[in-house]
Amino acid sequence: MTIDTKIRHVTRPGANLFLELGFSAAEAKRLHTASQKQINDTRLLKEQLMTELSSWIEQHHLKQAEAAEILMVSRPRVSDVVNKKTTKFTIDTLVEMMSRIGKPVTLAVG
């Protein structure tokens, strides 16, 4: 059995993927706008959680290695939190980290 790994098409960054998938121009624009909003909302939520974690580390005068032990992650992961590398984390992971420092996250829908 062979696996076909040939690349047949590459969507350029910033292109409307929905348009390339064959949706009408109006529908592609609507879907693209909605997906961009969702991506932005998720990024903002991750940044908020990372800010809380970074503030906690700073308030407790912890070195990244010490924080890593408490958060049960590697030191480079703490660095990624402090530097707000949002693409490297899921919301679930950040919520778990918050719980480990005694700051449970509650959800408000609004």
Q: Domain segments of the chain: what residues?
A: 18-100
pTM (predicted TM-score): 0.81
Specify the CATH superfamily of domain 18-100.
lambda repressor-like DNA-binding domains (1.10.260.40)
Residue type, 65: A
Residues in CB range of 62: below 8 A, 6 or more apart: 70
User: With 90 as the cut, is the pLDDT of residue 52 above it?
Assistant: yes
Distance of CA 41 to the CA centre of its chain: 10
The Cα–Cα gap between 84 and 45 comes to 11
Count the residues in the chain: 110
> Which residue would you say has higher pLDDT here, 13 or 70?
70
Question: How sure is the predictor about 107, in pLDDT bands with cuts at 50, 70 and 90?
Answer: confident
